Structure 1
Amino acid sequence: MASLSEEQRAAVLEAARRPGASRNGVARETGVSEGSVTAICTAAGISFDRSLTAAAVQARVIDLKAARVGLASTLMDDVQLARQRMHGAEDNKGFLEGAKAVAALASTHVRLVAVDKDDSPATEDAKSMLGRLALALGVAAGEGEEGGGDDV
């Protein structure tokens, strides 16, 4: 900031005082770095309206939550497909591989849903049920592996 001329500082302050001015816009307009614009404006007691940034961030949060909900839904579809393949397996190895896939998909679903934790009883019941399912499948898969794999 020390290398800026008084004219550059004045241009920054003039641009920053315009209604709706943004730090990045002032930087682009004046050719002064964002950090210098911030320092000059802070020293002059000028702050920028961040409401548009906050609204954009909130919109992005909502979009990401919707994407996670969609992904969680498709994961449950994948769990159903994995269960069908598991039960249609021709041997123990195929069944165990299917059980592992079901457990992994169900676990991923539970973790994904936990990101947007909802403390309602219905949500807790669903997570509990999926957790028990994943645990039971993990136990079943573990028991099959202890048998030595002779049926494979």
Structure 2
Amino acid sequence: MASLSEEQRAAVLEAARRPGASRNGVARETGVSEGSVTAICTAAGISFDRSLTAAAVQARVIDLKAARVGLAATLMDDVQLARQRMHGADDNRAFLDGAKAVAALAGTHVRLVGVDKDDASGVDAAKSMLGKLADALGVAAGEGEEGGGDDA
């Protein structure tokens, strides 16, 4: 890194002391790298207001949570559709493929919903629900095989 002149350092400090100044803005304005701006300001005891960045991050978190909720809702629609196809299957193979699809979609839904859970009890409930779903699919798959054997 090239050594900065006293004039450049003074310009960085002057720009950094303006209300609402950001590190990147000071760097653009003065032509000094972001790292050098940070070093100069840290040495002078100047810190930048990060509240706008924090607000932007929080807004993004909220947007992502809303997207996950929307995706979880559409996954439940997909589970219903996969169940309909599974129960309308003509053979055991198609039935089992449908059962796998239902299990995968339901598991994805549970994991998506669980991302935003604050307590560990949600994890236990999800595991229990998935276990029950897997047991039910196993029983249904067994019934499908027996019924399919009679038709063959």
TM-score of the two chains, using structure 1 as the length reference:
0.84
Unpaired runs of 5+ in structure 1?
A: none
Going from structure 1 to structure 2, the CA distance change for 1:139 and 1:10 (only over 3 Å counts) comes to same
User: 2: CA distance between counterparts of 1:87 and 1:129?
Assistant: 24
1:68 equivalent in structure 2: 68
How far the C-alpha of 1:22 sits from its partner, in A, is: 0.4
For 2:130, the aligned partner's letter is G
1:16 equivalent in structure 2: 16
Secondary structure at the aligned position of 1:80 is classed as helix
Deviates more, 1:133-142 or 1:74-83: 133-142
Query: Is 2:76 the counterpart of 1:79?
Result: no
How big is each residue's C-alpha offset from its partner over 1:66-91, in whole Å with a ceiling of 9 and x where there is no partner?
00000011001000000000000000
**Identity between Structure 1 and Structure 2 (%):** 79
Going from structure 1 to structure 2, the CA distance change for 1:22 and 1:141 (only over 3 Å counts) comes to farther
C-alpha contact 2:23 2:38 (8 A) present in aligned 1: yes
Q: CA RMSD in A?
A: 2.9
User: 2: CA distance between counterparts of 1:19 and 1:79?
Assistant: 53
C-alpha contact 1:16 1:26 (8 A) present in aligned 2: yes
Unpaired runs of 5+ in structure 2?
A: none
User: 2: CA distance between counterparts of 1:43 and 1:125?
Assistant: 50
2:88 equivalent in structure 1: 88
Deviates more, 1:112-121 or 1:70-79: 112-121
For 1:127, the aligned partner's letter is A
User: 2: CA distance between counterparts of 1:33 and 1:140?
Assistant: 65
Going from structure 1 to structure 2, the CA distance change for 1:3 and 1:101 (only over 3 Å counts) comes to same
2:28 equivalent in structure 1: 28
User: 1: CA distance between counterparts of 2:11 and 2:51?
Assistant: 24
Secondary structure at the aligned position of 2:4 is classed as coil
How big is each residue's C-alpha offset from its partner over 1:19-68, in whole Å with a ceiling of 9 and x where there is no partner?
00000110111111111100000000000001111011000000000000
Query: Is 2:9 the counterpart of 1:4?
Result: no
How far the C-alpha of 1:6 sits from its partner, in A, is: 1.1
